[in-house]
Amino acid sequence: MPDGVHPSHFAIVVHLARLGDGKTPRSLASAMQVTKATMSHSLKVLESRGFIETRVCEEDARSKQVFLTGAGRAFQVEAITAAAQTFSRFVRMEHIQIMEEALPGLVAIRKLLDENREPFP
């Protein structure tokens, strides 16, 4: 990972970029299948790096929402670019075709799991 960021922190950034800003720490903890304490620590790390910011929820002042910053979005692009360069050294066209054929099924599985996920304590 660029800048020594832990893969689990990158996963949070990707999740926010893919599904949109404004997620609560609780929903992120559930999505990542970690405890609220673990998510709080991860969010503090990401915030200290300037990749996210937390704001008070407008609908419920007791809750917070998490938003990617410009630096967070740039980090995501940088990390994906670095991964693509690494994989390009050994992934061949036939591998890409296999992945493209598998993608719809993998997306369907992810959607099914997301829709049926029980909250993680």
Reduced DSSP (H G I as helix, E B as strand, rest coil) percent helix, strand, coil of the chain, to 5 = 65, 10, 25
> pTM of the prediction?
0.79
Alpha-carbon distance of 111 to 117, in angstroms, equals: 10
Query: 120 in a domain, yes or no?
Result: no
Query: 121 in a domain, yes or no?
Result: no
Q: Number of structural domains, the chain? A: 1
Quick check: 46 and 67 in contact, CB under 8 A? no
The mean of the pLDDT values for the chain is 90
Report CA 75 to chain centroid distance, whole Å.
Answer: 12
pLDDT tens digits for 58-100? 888 888 999 999 999 999 999 899 888 888 888 888 888 999 9
Which domain range does residue 90 map to?
A: 2-115
List the CATH number of the domain containing 103: 1.10.10.10
Helix, coil or strand: residue 49: coil
